[in-house]
Structure 1
Amino acid sequence: MTVADEQAASDLKPIAAGPEQHSLLDDIQGLLAGSMLAALGVVMLSNAKLLSGGTAGVGFLLHYLLGVGFGPIFFAINLPFYYFAFRRMGLAFTVKTFIAVLLTSVLSALLPKFIGFAMLDPLVAALFGGLLIGTGMLALFRHQASLGGFGILALFLQDRFGWRAGLVQLCFDAMVLAASFFVATPGVIACSIIGAVVVNLTLAINHRRDRYIAR
């Protein structure tokens, strides 16, 4: 491990006890709130037959193609990323991310049994669903967790090179959305792109380590 690797890893480890450190209760609340918001956003996108970027986008593509629930697919897709998360981000980050992905997967599968949308315009779903997912991811990021997959890479690259996590995620999302041209209509893709932009602008504008220092 290089000096830069050690510095990046140390940035993601809890700092010494002090007024800026998140307590265990803070982290639990953050993981629950972030997962709940993200799951609700996923349900809105799914109800409108929209797509997304990142591993969630891959999950949506397989969900529509195979007819399998989004939750199990999303959970399975993220499994290979936990090794990378452990090696690069540490055990605490990996465990929190695993919990967040599991909660989001379970909640996104259960929520449609309790809520429904008689009418949901795709553009409205993209705007509000994207905002919910972005806000959920923001809560998870601020508690040293993510929704796995490309989010892990985005966080690592931000801490390693100073690249904005939201902008990095946007590049990954663009690649996934490009693949959606083979399975979706132009209207669906247009709304999906808007939703992905909302997600990543929410992160790019609000996730700033130089402004938010609590961990």
Structure 2
Amino acid sequence: PFLFPLTAKILKEFFEKNRTIKPFDLVISGDLEQPAKSGLTVKEVATSIKLPDNLHFFDRANYFKELSQLTPLRKKLYMRTIFNTVEKLLNPAHSNYAITSAFHKPYVKKYFDLFGSEYENMMIIKGDEGNPEVFDDFKYWMKKDDEIIEQSLTLESLGINYSQTYEKITLEQNLELLKNPSDALMELAQLNAAILLVVAQRFTHVKEAYTHIKG
């Protein structure tokens, strides 16, 4: 499932309670399903609900029409192309911070080389199925003094017990989860909010940020 509406809500509440920490908005972008991935898209979820006022969705069909129009051709090719790399960090909102995902480690350095200079800070995370949201134990990379630093965290170390899996979640199922999240799912959303606080340099460590969110 996608958690970003819950994550944005958690961040908004966190900043309201912690006035000394500078707030930021959450920006997401997306398009129709692209090869070689299949399933529910960010765009479907983002356009099916009322988003919190600190969450902004940018539709690639609007901000990069030419790339969006290549979708039918990419589906015919049904293979990973250079566009799978380029589309990850187009930065339609001119953000200062970025988070994206990489499954294969060689892409980590490639993303930093291609896009790192565009941001004050960038995190590359090994999430689920190309999604920068975390649902399990995870690794992430950030750059410090021109060195790429790898770190990892387990859900157990944070006291999170989540084992639910979905073979292929539908839009309706995802919307229902967002409407009535379990306690464990809310903890995952809090973890993802903590990750964003680190990306935006409000905290240094994910565990520290998560502890502050939990209060």
TM over 0.5: no
Higher RCO (C-alpha under 8 Å, 6+ residues apart)? 1
Q: Select the structure that is richer in strand.
A: 2
- State TM-score, norm by structure 1: 0.29
- State TM-score, norm by structure 2: 0.29
